[in-house]
Structures are given as structure tokens and as C-alpha cells.
Amino acid sequence: MLYVQGANGAGKTTLLKIISGVLRADSGEVLWNGLNIHESLEDYRSIMAYINHQQAQKDELSVLENLEITLSISGIFEQKALLQDALNLVGLSQYHLRPFRTLSQGQKRRLSMARLVVDKTRPLWILDEPFNALDKAGIHLLEGFMQSHIDAGGMVVLTSHLEPNFSQKSLKVLRLNQ
């Protein structure tokens, strides 16, 4: 787990965009298994999940539809029951038919978490400020997901203002300065 910290504007988001391949670095390159990610961008994209601070969900669609569409566009096709399980897990079980716009900020954030629950087969998670707008229980839940992802051999790159609350053995903290 790479835990990126830094002041506003230090370049945390930019770093994550470079790692996820949205942005090309001015110099240097990002390697995955020794290969530049831009050489086989499509392969790289099917092994990583990038969630930035924007919601990337549509107001007009229901919670379940949003989850299904986000996943299928990223190449994951699952049964509705499994998606419903994921919603239950993040505490949105009652809301699956509600339009996305009726959710609170924290609930919207939880929907992004539900995506990760289903997405756990992807080794690399890249999360930009995942704890924003979450309540204590939500933060705790998300930390749990990340820990079990790490324990299962996955990788997480994230940015946050919070102090890391993970087992030290797999944690690396990167502090960005000017």
C-alpha cells in the first residue's frame, strides 16, 4: 500500500493520474511488470481501478444501475444478486432503486466503495481521497476493505489527509513536498 500525503496542490492528484495512465508524465515512465503502461494501456486498464474525487455517477440513474454500468464499462459483468450483496455490505441495501441524486454525500461515496467490493479481483486500486465525506463508520469500513485487499495480495495507492491506520508491514507513506 502506497499512502500519498501532501499539502493542497503538491501534486497528489496529478501523481495518481499519471499512475493510472490518464496523464502522461513530462518525463519518466510508469512501469507495470517491467512494461511501460502506455505500451499496452488496455491490458493495464483491466487490472486496475481508479476512483478519483469526482463521483462519476449519473443523477438520472438508480443506485443499482449506476453500479452495474460503472462495473460493466470497466469490463466486469456480474449478476445483479452479487451487486446487491455489495450494496448491502456498504450499507446501501435499502437504496438500490433510489435515483443517485437523492443520496447524501456520504452515501454517494459509499457507492464508490461498493464498486471496489465487486472489483476486488483487480490487483491495483488507485484511490483519490477515498475518505472524503465518509462518516467514522464509513472510514472504518473502507479501511477494512483495503486491509483485506492488501492481505489478499492486492495493491492500493491512495491519497488522504488522514493519518494512515493500517498494519505497518505493508504500508509505505510518500510525502510530497514542493
Partner 1 sequence: MNLYKFSSPKVFYPLAGSIFKYTLLPSIFFLVVGLYISFFLAPTDFQQGEAYRIIFIHVPAAWMSMIIYMAMAFWNIVGFSLKSKLSFMMSRALAPTGAIFTFIALITGAFWGRPMWGAWWVWDARLTSELILLFLYIGYIALVMSFDDSKRGERVGAIYSIVSVINVPIIYFSVIWWNTLHQGASVSFNKAPSMAAMIVEGMLVMMLAFWTYSIAVVMLRIRRIIVEYQEEMLLMNHTTEG
Partner 2 sequence: MKTLKILKALFGRELKLIFRNQSDLFTTFFFFIIVCSLFPFGVKPSSELLPQIGPGMIWISALLASTVSNARFLLSDFNDGSLEQIFLAPIPSTLIIYVKVFVQWLTTGFPLLIVAPILSLQFGLKYQEIMVLMISLVIGTPLLTLIGALGSALTLGGRGGGGLVAILVLPLYIPVLIFGVGSVLSYSSGISPETSFLVLSAILVFALVFLPYAIALSIKLALE
Report residue 43 as a C-alpha cell.
491490458
Closest CB to partner 1 among 8 and 33? 8
Closest CB to partner 1 among 4 and 116? 4
The answer to whether 77 contacts partner 2 (rule: CB under 8 A) is: yes
The answer to whether 45 contacts partner 2 (rule: CB under 8 A) is: yes
DSSP state of 49: E
Strand ordering across the sheet containing 48-51:
48-51, 124-128, 155-159, 2-6, 172-176
Task: Name which position in 2, 5, 10, 120 contacts partner 1 (CB under 8 A).
Answer: 10
- The answer to whether 132 and 163 are in contact (CB under 8 A) is no
The answer to whether 22 contacts partner 2 (rule: CB under 8 A) is: yes
- The answer to whether 145 and 89 are in contact (CB under 8 A) is no
Pairing assessment for the beta strands 2-6 and 31-32 based on DSSP bridges: unpaired
Q: What angle do CA 48, 52, 53 make, to 5 degrees?
A: 160
Closest CB to partner 2 among 29 and 43? 43
Closest CB to partner 1 among 10 and 61? 10
Task: Name which position in 33, 54, 79, 178 contacts partner 1 (CB under 8 A).
Answer: 178
The answer to whether 159 contacts partner 2 (rule: CB under 8 A) is: no
Q: Give the N- to C-terminal CA distance of the chain in Å, as an integer.
A: 23
- Interface positions with partner 2 (CB under 8 A): 17, 20-23, 42-43, 45-46, 50, 52, 54-61, 65, 69-70, 72-75, 77
- Interface positions with partner 1 (CB under 8 A): 8-11, 178
